[in-house]
Amino acid sequence: MVHHYHRRRGLQATHHYAIGSRVGTSLFQILLLFLSLWLPVLDNSGFALACGPGRGAGRRPNLRKLTPLVFKQHVPNVSENTLPASGLSEGRITRYDPRFRDLVPNYNTDIIFKDEEGSGADRLMTQRCKEKLNTLAISVMNQWPGVKLRVVEGWDEEGMHATDSLHYEGRAVDVTTSDRDRSKYGMLARLAVEAGFDWVYYESRSHIHCSVKSESSSAGKSGGCFPGRSLVRTEDGSTKRLDDVRLGDRIAAVDSRGDVVYSEVIAFLDRSPSERRQFIRLTTKSGRVLTLTPAHLVPMESGSVFAANVQPGDKILVSDADVASAKNEVDNRLRWDSVNETKLVIEEGVYAPLTMEGNLFVDDVVASCYAIVNSQSLAHYSFLPLRIWHSVTSFFLQRLDDVKYFATRHNDVSRTESTMRGEQEGIHWYASVLYSLSFYVLPSKMIYN
């Protein structure tokens, strides 16, 4: 009965499909006739869409009106060496400095380099600075046909600027137009802002100063880390510096129920003992200090946020055995503490341990193990395969029959993993893949910028 029912339904569907095809063909012919009659009219009226710039043929795009900067104005309206702008100076680069190899020459023919020293120093800059400068060169030619961008000062190796100047790191340039028409400099500054420079200053009647963030401060490179001198609490109640933590160590964390537990370190998402980076230092009302990279997630009362977005008055979770709360399952252990100060600092050594819980206590403050994506739960689920792999390998190792062989094998594996992952410098390969994918699959509002 079921067979005949489906057969009948199939015949009906085939019949309807045949009728629908004939009707569809007739409608298609009518549509073609309609278009052949009306397309010339629509085209003459300027309503037909066209390929190329603008919304339609002959219609000029609605360009946003650009407002020139005024003398002594800077964008953003903060100091150059702050997080919203170009950040702190990371130290002067000389030709004998290992970081000198990170500077790249700019041979763009659309840019005129003054190079008054005759050493080619003005052409040397960081990759980020080069990209923004090349973008600005295009904007200048579009704004004033026949006029080029002119660089009067780039990387400085002669000590002609202030002590903390970003010129010493190839992160700053002073620019004018090739015709040296000072009436254009206000608009030139605005074009520099639009080109993506992190700080633009109409510094002088004779030039515009532009600078960028350091390469190490980029989210893709720095991820989320803590400095090596930060302390974590171990299972025996003692503290240990992060640069002494190894795979397999159990350190204080918070589980899904809000209880304080000791969670195993299963990987280092980043480990660069000798690298210097910019960190945010959060100081609380009770004197707790948490130092971490700006892209790192911090649990707050309102949810996890990037460290760069934490403001004075926000509350973060700290360990405090002297405070009790009858309403909290973890009384005598945790409490919310107000942030008094946020400060940008330079620290050496970057470490990002990953625990099974996805968080940890750093200097007795609860912090996430994750960064770049503003969702703790999404980040934790993303690292599920890494946790599963660790659990599976641990399961089989624990069930080896020969205890002596197990002990030897376990130590060998631990040493091997420590060599491959714990002691290896740089970002963990799995984290690197996720960081790269996140920029393509997630909306921009979820990514640290």
264 is in an annotated binding site: no
pLDDT of residue 433: 87
CA distance linking residue 363 with residue 384, whole number of Å:
26
Contacts 24+ apart (CB under 8 A), 317-325: 317/254, 317/365, 317/366, 318/284, 318/286, 318/288, 318/364, 318/365, 318/366, 319/233, 319/252, 319/260, 319/361, 319/364, 319/365, 319/366, 320/286
> SS3 letters for 133-198?
HHHHHHHHHHHCCCCCEEEEECCCCCCCCCCCCHHHHCCEEEEEECCCCHHHHHHHHHHHHHHCCC
pLDDT of residue 167: 96
Among 253, 229, 270, which residue's Cα sits nearest to residue 361? 253
153 is in an annotated binding site: yes
Pick the CATH number of 74-217 from 3.40.50.720, 3.30.1380.10, 3.30.360.10, 3.30.230.10: 3.30.1380.10
Question: Given a cut of 60, is residue 250 above it in pLDDT?
Answer: yes
Q: Give the pLDDT band (50/70/90) at residue 209.
A: very high
167 is in an annotated binding site: yes
61 preceded by a cis bond (ω within 30 of 0): no
Q: Are 295 and 219 in contact (CB under 8 A)?
A: yes
CA distance linking residue 123 with residue 444, whole number of Å:
33
Over range 395-401, report the average pLDDT: 68
The CATH superfamily label for domain 219-446 reads Hedgehog/Intein (Hint) domain (2.170.16.10)
pLDDT of residue 63: 59
Q: What is the pLDDT of residues 258-289, one digit of tens each?
A: 889 999 999 999 998 988 888 999 999 999 99
97 is in an annotated binding site: no
Quickly list H helices, 2-149: 2-44, 127-143
Domain residue limits, the chain: 74-217, 219-446
Percent of the chain with pLDDT over 90: 55
Among 353, 352, 225, which residue's Cα sits nearest to residue 291? 225
Q: What is the pLDDT of residues 74-89, one digit of tens each?
A: 999 999 999 889 999 9
Question: C-alpha dihedral over 192, 198, 203, 208, to 10 degrees?
Answer: -30
322 is in an annotated binding site: no
Report yes or no on whether pTM surpasses 0.75.
no
Gyration radius of the chain over CA positions: 30
Q: What is the pLDDT of residues 123-153, one digit of tens each?
A: 999 999 999 999 999 999 999 999 999 999 9
423 is in an annotated binding site: no
In whole numbers, what is the pLDDT of the chain averaged over residues?
A: 81
16 is in an annotated binding site: no
Vertex 428: Cα angle to 426 and 432 (nearest 5):
100
CA distance linking residue 430 with residue 309, whole number of Å:
26
203 is in an annotated binding site: no
